[in-house]
Amino acid sequence: MTAAFQNYHARMLRVLDHIDQHLDSDLDLDTVSRIAAFSKFHFHRQFTATFEVSVHRYVQLARMKRASHQLAHLDAQSVTDIAMDAGYDAPDAFARAFRQRFGQSPSSFRKSPDWVPWLAAFGPLDNARSKLMQIIFTPDDVTIRDVPPTPVAIMEHRGDRATLGDTIQRFIAWRKAAGLSPETSPTFTIFRSEREPVIPADYSMDICCGTDQPIEVNGEQIKAGVIPGGRCAVLRYPGNTHNLEPAALYLYRDWLPDSGEEARDFPIYCRRQLSSIPEVPAHEVIVELFLPLK
């Protein structure tokens, strides 16, 4: 990547950061183009060409994503206030836009969020950042830690990855009913197979949340378990991605052979700890990938 191209990407990344951190501010074309230090006469075309979504659309999606998190996690905040925060003058206009995007009314989403269309709706946001986040890992990014045993509640997913969204939805609903918020109970994902196995039905992973409290099943296939303690190589990923395969490949293919270490007999897993979902932009969430070592 040339220096000029790196500079261009840095300026575009600055724009995304500014939008995510100033969703309550005026994010018109003049303001955003100044942040990028691009001419406003060309900036909207440059932005759309880079991210395949317009500036206006990106801002709308970012505000709607925050609104959906507020609905799901902040019961004390009214739908009217959330609509105003999202830039809508009236709750009925917000409700129409919300239903069109997610197939649920705001009140229905608050009671029982359907996370499958939600994940699909925000694909453009994830794609925008992924275009700028071609991450190159180095040995300095990896630390070795002694990790204590971690009691967790586990929901297993076994079978085609295409149905993973349903499992995630059930896990989130169970977790909310159990009062185990992501802010206080970190999320763990244990990868028991490749991301894309040769036989799709062989895909296997466990979704967990850290808790030492008794497990309330609430009709779901939840069980108590422990992520074993021990030495781990830990790689911090600078962004809230759902594709950790590049990071895992770096640990297995590059770091492990050069380190002189040996992998322990437990799958690679990741940990996500959110400080406050509605206020934290997705790119500020740090994901840690753990490779257990002997």
At 246 the pLDDT is 80
Q: What mean pLDDT do residues 61-78 have?
A: 85
Quick one: pLDDT at residue 225? 93
Q: For all residues of the chain together, what is the average pLDDT?
A: 83
Q: Which two tokens stand for residue 13?
A: 């990344």
The per-residue pLDDT for range 234-255, each reduced to its tens digit, is 998 766 666 788 888 889 988 9
End-to-end Cα spacing for the chain: 38
pLDDT (mean) for 89-99: 89
Dihedral (C-alpha) 133, 139, 144, 149: value to the nearest 10 degrees? 30
User: Which own/partner contact pairs does 259-262 have at CB distance under 8 Å and 24+ positions apart?
Assistant: 259/139, 259/142, 259/233, 261/144, 261/233, 261/293, 261/294, 262/293, 262/294
Query: Which of 132, 150, 180 marks a domain boundary?
Result: 132
Q: Are residues 192 and 171 in the same domain?
A: yes
Examine the pLDDT at 42 and tell me if it is beyond 70. Answer: yes
The mean pLDDT of 142-169, rounded to a whole number, is 91
Per-residue tokens: 291: 């490779």
Q: What CATH number should be reported for the domain holding residue 74?
A: 1.10.10.60
- What is the number of structural domains in the chain? 2
Domain match, 16 and 123 both: yes
Q: Is 268 exposed, middle or buried (0-12, 13-18, 19+ CB in 10 A)?
A: buried
Query: Given pLDDT bands bounded at 50, 70 and 90, which one contains residue 268?
Result: very high
- Is 153 found in the same domain as 173? yes
Contact 258, 250 (CB under 8 A): no
| Residue 199 structural domain | 139-292
Are 42 and 74 in a shared domain? yes
* 13 and 158 both lie in a single domain: no
Most confident of 150-159, 166-175, 183-192: 150-159
Q: What percent of the chain stands above pLDDT 90?
A: 23
d(CA 102, CA 96) in angstroms, rounded, equals 10
Q: CA 21 to CA 13: how far, in whole Å?
A: 12
pLDDT bucket at 130, cuts 50 / 70 / 90? low
pLDDT at 157 exceeding the cut of 90 = yes
Residue 262 has pLDDT above 80, yes or no: yes
Q: Which two tokens stand for residue 78?
A: 């009214």
Last residue of a domain, one of 115, 132, 149: 132
Q: Are residues 159 and 265 located together in one domain of the fold? A: yes
* Whether residue 82 is found in the same domain as residue 160: no
Percent residues over pLDDT 70 in the chain: 87
Give the Cα separation of 143 and 128 in Å (integer). Answer: 29
Residue 218's CATH number: 3.20.80.10
Same domain? For 275 and 151 the reply is yes
DSSP per residue over 1-13, as a string?
--HHHHHHHHHHH
Query: pLDDT digits over 172-225, tens only?
Result: 888 888 888 777 788 999 999 888 888 888 999 999 999 988 887 666 688 999
Of 114, 132, 150, the last residue of a domain is 132
Confidence class for position 274, pLDDT limits 50, 70, 90: low
Q: Taking Cα atoms as reference points, which of 130, 143, 74 lies closest to residue 283?
A: 130
**Is 2 a residue whose pLDDT tops 70?**
no
Same domain, 88 and 198: no
171 and 122 inside one domain:
no
Categorize the per-residue pLDDT at 279 as very low, low, confident or very high, splitting at 50, 70 and 90: very low
Name the one residue in this structure whose structure tokens are 């996690």.
73
